[in-house]
Chain A
Amino acid sequence: MSKLVTQRAAGESFVGPAVEARGLVKHYKGRDGVVEAVRGVDLRVEAGEIFGFLGPNGAGKSTTVRMLTTLLSITSGTARVAGVDVAREPDVARLRMGVALQEAGLDARQTGRELLVLQCRLFGMSADDAASRAQELLELVDLVDAADRRIKGYSGGMKRRLDLASALVHEPQVLFLDEPTTGLDPASRLVVWEEVRRINGHGTTVFLTTQYLEEADQLCDRIAIIDGGRIVREGTPTQLKTELQVRLGLDDEPSLDDVFLDATGRTRERVAGVVREVGA
């Protein structure tokens, strides 16, 4: 297998949407009953888009991403990424997608370079190809100086960038980023935004979750808002703002914050009330 298959599978173009989910459901069975984390999600992300997936804590964003990226079994429904059914052909799907999860999954005992080389090898590259691809990526995310130090000593931002680089080893067609900028300082956040735009500019579809509405507004072509395991809004940021403005008869255009609060049944007044209660 190895290089040939990797390149062929990754390079193979597909027709239709980059991500397509139908009736996606996830139930977690635990000691204290069943948690219905995702309750019938339909999604369609076109090839070449930057798609933002928003929602309050516990809404089911990570669960959805984990199902789409083959890391979690699907209770019911189907999902296709880059034209491949993730449940039926997980390995083919894995070749076409890159994943950086909410907790940057890194191994503190390896150096940044070793981690990237290993990741390249796992995607079927030869030792030589892996070494040069790792160097390329280190330059890309500006980690050349730290490349041969153990990851243990990296800062939060460096870890995020390394995690992002490791999701790119095989030039995926669809890139999943679960909260890529959480915990980053404003400058590092801008660096990640730039990187996401650049990756997208090369034709990679990006599916990202975020807590930052400004991020979604700046970066995303289209967004969906999930709440309580169900999609409650979907459209371009402008469409969603206009819809709210018209519906409520507002004079000024609302912000995406307002859309979010409206969609998730939270109002500024109620949120402020909670804050006051907590503060008192």
Chain B
Amino acid sequence: MSYTWVLGRRALREALRTPEALLPTLFIPMFFLVVNLGQAGKIFPSSTTGFLDGQNYGAFQLPSSMLLAASFGTAALFLVEDIEGGYFDKLRSSPVPRTSLVLGRLVAEVVKGLGIAIVLVLLALPFGIHVASGFVGFLLLIALTALWAVVYVGFMQLIALKTRSAAATNSGGLIFFPLLFLTPNFVPRHMLTRPMEIAATCNPVTYVMEALRSLILQDLVWGRVLTGFGVVGALGVVMVMLNLRMIRHYD
């Protein structure tokens, strides 16, 4: 564990020293929040739209932005840089457990994900958005976002370790991207067209989004929240296991 943390701290240092890579992860989700609010805010006024629970449409959109912010996978591109530049071999020539080599970055991603989620919630406050589930809800909100970031980076790292190419990792990440939009991200699931509803129901991201949304719009709805954590937890375990398998067979 201590090795994982030593490597995780280095990954965080690297992220902080590359603000060019960090800023878009905040800017683009905020951009979508503002644009979507501007485009659909009038269609869904808070006074007459039941699913908003009294908040404005921005509150409904915030989970999409948070998931987007947690789905950049920059850490995997840093890993490719390490591999291409030979630094990964230097790390591999040290006697640390192979697992720490991939877990370090994932641990760093938790910390980074928490930071990004907190900043996004703070940035959303001026839009009149608040977290209806209170402080505990806020903690769950940022935790769930951060764990999602781990799932996403875990997936990207798999491509990075497999292809060792920045171009392949970048475009490989896009395979996962549509899943963020096959969700009830504009209206609740029951208002979607039938085919879209089926697609969204099959998509695990839907449950993460619904959990985040319930934390923002409602008091603690444990069923929703636990489903979200369950989905992220299961995907997280799968990603970590695949990452560990990949690093053990890395040549």
Query: Which residues of A does B touch, CB under 8 Å?
Result: 69-73, 90-92, 94-95, 97, 99, 101, 103-110, 114, 118-119, 121-124, 150, 163, 166
Contact = CB atoms under 8 A, between A and B. Distances in A.
Contacts of B134: none
B28 interface: no
B95 A95 contact: yes
B87 A123 contact: no
Contact of A103 (B10, B82, B86, B251): B86
A71 B93 contact: yes
Contacts of B88: 105
Given A91-B95, A122-B6, 11 more contacts: A71-B89, A71-B92, A73-B251, A101-B89, A101-B90, A107-B10, A110-B13, A110-B14, A114-B13, A119-B90, A123-B95
B13 to A, nearest CB: 7
Contacts of A73: 251
B94 interface: yes
A106 B93 contact: no
Contact of B93 (A69, A110, A118, A121): A69
A101 to B, nearest CB: 6
Given A95-B95, A122-B96, A105 B87 contact: yes
A106 B86 CA distance: 7
B85 A118 contact: no
A114 B18 CA distance: 16
Contacts of A123: 94-95
Contacts of B17: 109, 150
A91 B100 CA distance: 13
Contacts of B127: none
Given A114-B13, A118-B6, A106 B87 contact: yes
A95 B18 CA distance: 33
A69 B94 CA distance: 10
B40 interface: no
Contact of A118 (B10, B18, B89): B10
B10 A110 contact: yes
B3 interface: yes
Contacts of B10: 107, 110, 114, 118
B85 A70 contact: no
Interface string B1-43: 0010011001001100110000000000000000000000000
A270 to B, nearest CB: 34
A123 B94 CA distance: 6
B139 interface: no
B91 interface: yes
Contacts of A90: 95
A66 B135 CA distance: 53
A163 B86 CA distance: 11
B86 A109 contact: no
Contacts of B89: 71, 99, 101, 105
B85 A103 contact: yes
B7 to A, nearest CB: 8
A101 B93 CA distance: 10
B86 A104 contact: yes
Contacts of B96: 122
